[in-house]
Structure 1
Amino acid sequence: MEWLKIYWWIILIVLFGVFINTIKALNKLNFRGYLDKKKGTKPIPYQDDDDDDWPPTPKKN
Structure 2
Amino acid sequence: MDWLADYWWVILIILAGMLINGIKELSRVNVKRYLKNKPEIPPHRDNNAEWDDDDDWPKKKK
With the shorter chain as reference, the TM-score category is 0.5 to 0.7
> In the comparison of the two structures, how many residue pairs are matched?
59
Please, which runs of 5 or more residues in structure 2 have no aligned partner? 46-62
Over the aligned positions, Cα root-mean-square deviation in angstroms equals 3.1
Query: Identity of counterpart residues, as a percentage?
Result: 48
Alignment gaps of 5+ in structure 1: 47-61
Which structure has greater helix proportion? 1
Instruction: Supply the distance in 2 between the matched residues of 1:42 and 1:8 (Cα, whole angstroms).
Output: 45
Q: Which runs of 4+ in 1 moved over 4 A?
A: 40-44
What residue number does 2:14 align with? Answer: 14
TM-score, with structure 1 as normaliser: 0.63
Q: TM-score, normalised by structure 2?
A: 0.62
Measured after TM superposition, the shift of residue 37 of structure 1 is 1.1
